[in-house]
């Protein structure tokens, strides 16, 4: 689909769901949905901030999945801090896109929720976009939110993941999405192909990019289940850079000279020890590594002697540690200790320099 031209926003009064704001005003409201839980209609909170001057409309969304909290806090602080006298255009925020999952901790003792929500927990909201008018509760909520998209010029969908480096995921080959990720200043940009197993075509970022032509990115801010200040600050920086890139705020986005690109779910290598014990990493996530470079060591938990050195099988970037839930650093034989991505070829077709040489060259890539 062609990249569309910016619509801009010139109206005096805006209304999103029940949130109504004039130029120079902020308002909270709700998007009503036809989904019901516990006999009550589910409403999705929405915030609307209208700048004094015309400009782009940015949608920030978070909370599609249970326990993914950092994006919600990034949105809360961004919305509180935004100065509508300086803002150009409009900010629309949906910090709790899926109240069934995000508000689950408040309702976990409620027998109606236990009965009704259990099955809906199996429905991944980020695989149902743009939702269905008469679908299940999750599809109905997505449908109600997707009515907002015609108003939107740009979209950031916040998620979290654990034991992985923070990243922006964008559709491969969609230049506007790639520009968005580059200017966001985030360390890792993951280029996602439509046939990716994880994303799928009904992923919000992929749907917005591919079907609507809206520059969109999924931003993963570790960790799951807890607010982590370092990653909240990263998210705030991503939003600020994006708003500058869109000329909604004065100033230029701050580039990240360390930014690197990977192809999401492709060209990665998992390091799985043949010994068991305590895995002690010797590198941080996001570090560029050369082929053969030591990533970490397995120690016996009986003798506390080293039993295996784990080197990188390729040149690339250390991107993730264990995906074992119970104790990330205590590994059985064959469980993943680390994951290294090869650096990707950017949209311009230029190969990224691998290994020790890569650190110096990372900042020079143009997309
Ligand atoms: Zn998620």
Cis bond upstream, residue 223 (ω within 30): yes
The residue to which tokens 């609307």 are assigned: 48
The pTM of the whole model exceeds 0.85: yes
Q: How far is the CA of 250 from the centre of ligand 1 (A)?
A: 31
pLDDT at 347 over 60: no
* The domain made up of 268-356 is a member of CATH 3.40.50.720: no
pLDDT band, very low/low/confident/very high, at 366 (cuts 50, 70, 90): very low
Q: Given the structure tokens 């068991």, which residue do they identify?
A: 276
Output DSSP code: residue 315. S
Segment 279-324, tens digit of pLDDT: 999 999 999 999 999 999 999 999 999 999 999 999 999 999 998 8
For 181-195, the pLDDT digits (tens) are 999 999 999 999 877
Q: How remote is the CA of residue 151 from the centroid of ligand 1, in Å? A: 24
Contact 49, 82 (CB under 8 A): yes
| Ligand 1 centroid to residue 32 C-alpha, Å | 23
Measure 74 CA to ligand 1 centroid, in angstroms: 15
- Ligand 1 centroid–CA 66 distance in Å is 8
User: What is the pLDDT, as a whole number, of residue 11?
Assistant: 73
Query: Does position 59 have pLDDT exceeding 50, yes or no?
Result: yes
- Per residue, what are the HEC states of 19-79? EEEECCEEEEEEEEEEEEECCEEEEEEEEEEECCEEEEEEEEEECCCCCCCHHHHHHHHHH
* 70-81 vs 229-245: helix crossing angle, rounded to 10: 50
For the stretch 11-35, pLDDT in tens is: 788 999 999 999 999 999 999 999 9
**Could you tell me the distance, in angstroms and rounded to a whole number, from the CA of residue 310 to the centre of ligand 1?**
30
Residue written as token pair 């997707």: 146
Please check whether residue 129 is in contact with residue 216, taking contact to mean a CB–CB distance below 8 angstroms. Answer: no
In the predicted model, is pLDDT for residue 160 greater than 70?
yes
CA–centroid distance, 33 to ligand 1, in Å, is 21
Expressed in angstroms and rounded, the spacing between residue 355 Cα and the centre of ligand 1 is 31
224 CA distance to ligand 1 middle (Å): 9
Q: Output the CA 159–ligand 1 centroid distance in Å.
A: 4
Q: Where are the domains of the chain?
A: 13-261, 268-356
Question: pLDDT confidence of 10, banded at 50, 70, 90?
Answer: low
CA of 11 to the centre of ligand 1 (A): 34
Q: Report CA(102)–ligand 1 centroid distance (Å).
A: 11
User: From CA 294, how far away is CA 282, in angstroms rounded?
Assistant: 7
Q: Which long-range contacts (CB under 8 A, 24 or more apart) does 118-121 make?
A: 121/66
DSSP per-residue codes, 201-230: TTSHHHHIIIII---EEEEE-S-SSS--HH
Q: Do the two domains 13-261 and 268-356 of this chain adopt the same fold? A: no
**CATH superfamily of the 13-261 domain:** Zn peptidases (3.40.630.10)
CA 161 – ligand 1 centroid, Å: 7
Q: List, in sequence order, the alpha helices (H) in 94-174.
A: 99-102, 104-107, 111-120, 137-146
Query: How many Å lie between the centroid of ligand 1 and the Cα of residue 160?
Result: 6
How far does residue 73's CA lie from ligand 1's centre (Å)?
15
Contact 54, 89 (CB under 8 A): yes
């Amino acid at each position: 689909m062609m990249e569309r031209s910016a619509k801009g926003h010139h109206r005096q009064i805006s209304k999103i769901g029940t949130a109504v704001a004039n130029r120079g005003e902020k308002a909270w409201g709700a998007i009503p949905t036809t989904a019901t839980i516990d006999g009550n209609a589910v409403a999705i909170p929405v915030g609307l901030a209208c700048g004094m001057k015309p400009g782009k409309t940015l949608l920030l969304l978070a909370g599609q999945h249970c326990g993914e909290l950092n994006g919600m806090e990034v949105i809360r602080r961004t919305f509180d801090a935004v100065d509508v006298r300086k803002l150009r255009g409009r900010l629309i925020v949906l910090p709790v896109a899926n109240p069934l999952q995000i508000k689950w901790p408040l309702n976990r003792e409620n027998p109606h929720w236990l009965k009704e929500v259990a099955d809906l927990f199996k429905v991944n909201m980020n695989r149902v976009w743009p939702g269905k008018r008469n679908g299940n509760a999750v599809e109905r909520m997505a449908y109600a939110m997707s009515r907002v998209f015609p108003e939107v010029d740009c979209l950031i969908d916040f998620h979290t993941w654990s034991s992985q480096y923070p990243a922006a995921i964008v559709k491969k080959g969609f230049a506007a999405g790639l520009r968005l990720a580059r200017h966001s200043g985030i360390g890792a940009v993951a280029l996602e192909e439509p046939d990716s197993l994880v994303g799928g075509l009904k992923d919000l970022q992929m749907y917005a990019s591919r079907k609507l032509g809206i520059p969109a990115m999924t931003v993963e801010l570790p960790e799951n289940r807890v607010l982590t200040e370092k990653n909240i600050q990263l998210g705030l920086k991503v939003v600020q850079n994006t708003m500058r890139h869109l000329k909604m705020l004065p100033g230029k986005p701050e580039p990240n000279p360390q930014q690197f690109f990977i192809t999401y779910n492709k060209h990665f290598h998992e390091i799985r020890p043949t010994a068991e014990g305590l895995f002690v990493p010797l590198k941080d996530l996001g570090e560029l590594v050369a082929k053969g470079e030591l990533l970490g060591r397995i120690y016996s938990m009986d003798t506390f002697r080293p039993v295996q050195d784990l080197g990188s099988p390729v040149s690339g970037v250390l991107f993730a540690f264990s995906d074992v839930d119970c104790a990330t650093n205590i590994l059985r034989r064959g469980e993943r200790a680390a994951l290294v991505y090869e650096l990707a070829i950017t949209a311009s077709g230029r190969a990224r320099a691998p290994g020790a040489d890569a650190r110096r060259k990372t900042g020079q890539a143009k997309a």
